[in-house]
Structures are given as structure tokens and as C-alpha cells.
Chains A and B, each alone.
Chain A
Amino acid sequence: EIVLTQSPATLSLSPGERATLSCRASQSVSDYLAWYQQKPGQAPRLVIYDASYRGNDIPDRFSGSGSGTEFTLTISSLEPEDFATYYCQQRRSWPPTFGQGTRVEIK
């Protein structure tokens, strides 16, 4: 199965700062990569799909890039509601797999 490795595990930033999250795949997933946001006690929310397309009602401060094995989620200017855990997920091959998550916390 394809292993996704996210870094860093925790990102400590202040509101207004730029967040850069990484996801590395153990083999190429082409652009079949998504990012999800999850807040405590809530279900995940699709933020980015196909590496660079924003999900429904996702603000344009969120952007995704990359292809193959290296991907990045960027939040251009953190809002208070953006502090959460973010997971990447691939659908290139069975089984679909998730990264272990990056927690974005308030510094």
C-alpha cells in the first residue's frame, strides 16, 4: 500500500502567518491527492482534491500544489478557524490511505 508521510507533525504559528504543510508519498500518486481539515469532535472536511482544487466553500487562502510524490498545502494567512489537524489522502490505488496528520496550533 502507498504510505503517506506528513511533516511537520505540529506547526505552531500565529494568526496572519503563512502555513506550509507537506505530504510525501512512498510511490507516485500522480495528482490523486486530497487534503482534509479536522477540528476536535468534528468530522473531516475536504479542503483540496486532485492536488490543487479547492473543495466546496473553501476560501482561497487555501491552496494545494505538487504531483507524483511531493505535495504541499499552503494557508496564505491563518485565520482563527484554520487551527486544526490536516490530513492528506491518496486515491491512486487500493487501499486509499491517509497521512498521520499535521496539527496546526496557535503559537
Chain B
Amino acid sequence: EVQLVESGGALVQPGGSLRLSCAASGFTFSNYEMNWVRQAPGKGLEWVSYINSGGNTKNYADSVKGRFTISRDNAKNSLYLHMNSLRVDDTAVYYCARADIVGATGPDFFDYWGQGTLVTVSS
């Protein structure tokens, strides 16, 4: 059974930093591209970041570019999101999401999602 379990969400002050983690199991993690998608309270879904299976290609939404860094450790079956210079409008539930196709080029659809971890940015 495919499982994605996020952790690391917390209450943080504006300008602060946080690292989110996503532990994957039930599939060969190193074969799949991965993404982070967020959802502000009561709002819709917003794609945040992408990383390819090898970890050497990354993409970011303009809203987080230069502040967030995606990474992965295939030996540990884990995905990460390092968030710096956090702003109030980064407040959201952050989901890790698996790409639906192995080896696809370009953006993904997302066939498995974690349960999400809440990041609250507030003073």
C-alpha cells in the first residue's frame, strides 16, 4: 500500500524557517518524481514545487522561488521542503504528492497524496 506521511508543520513567526518531511512507503520511491502542493485555509490547491526522481531537476512556483528548497533522500525514502523567509500568506496545509507516471517529462498529475501537515505563519 502506497503511503505518504508528512511531518514538520508548526506555528512559526514571519521571517522564520521550517523544514517539512514526507516519508514514503509501499512503492519504489527512487523511481518517482515528487511534488509539494499546498492549500491555504478554506482555499483551493496550489502547486508549490517539483523534484525529479534523481533529485537533480527542481521547479518552483513563483510565489516561493528563492525562499523554498525541495530535496529528497532516496536512501531514506524521504522528501523534504526547506522553507525560509516565511510569510503570513504561506500559511497552509502542505501535501506531498506522487507523480502519476514514472519518467514523464513536464508537470505531473498526482495519484497519491499524504494527509498533509499544517504550517501557520503568524506573530
Contacts and interface: CB of A to CB of B under 8 A. Distances in A.
A93 B111 contact: no
A87 interface: yes
- How many of chain B's residues touch chain A, expressed as a range? 10 to 19
Nearest to B114: A43
Contacts of A15: none
Nearest to B104: A91
Contacts of B116: 43
B31 to A, nearest CB: 17
A41 B13 CA distance: 25
A101 B44 CA distance: 7
Nearest to B6: A43
Given A44-B113, A49-B109, A95 B44 contact: no
Contacts, number: 59
B100 interface: yes
Contact of A49 (B45, B47, B59, B100): B100
A57 to B, nearest CB: 11
Most chain A CB inside 10 Å of its own CB: which residue of B45, B59, B95, B116: B45
Q: Secondary structure at chain A's binding surface: helix, strand, loop or mixed?
A: loop
B106 A94 contact: yes
Nearest to A35: B109
B45 A89 contact: yes
B44 A99 contact: yes
B110 A44 contact: yes
B44 A89 contact: no
A50 to B, nearest CB: 8
Interface in A51-82: 55-56
A96 B44 contact: no
Given A43-B95, A95-B59, 18 more contacts: A36-B45, A43-B115, A44-B45, A44-B110, A44-B113, A87-B44, A89-B45, A90-B107, A91-B109, A92-B106, A93-B107, A95-B62, A96-B108, A97-B47, A98-B45, A98-B46, A99-B44, A101-B45
Interface of B: 44-47, 59, 61-62, 95, 100, 106-111, 113-116
Interface of A: 34, 36, 38, 42-46, 49, 55-56, 87, 89-101
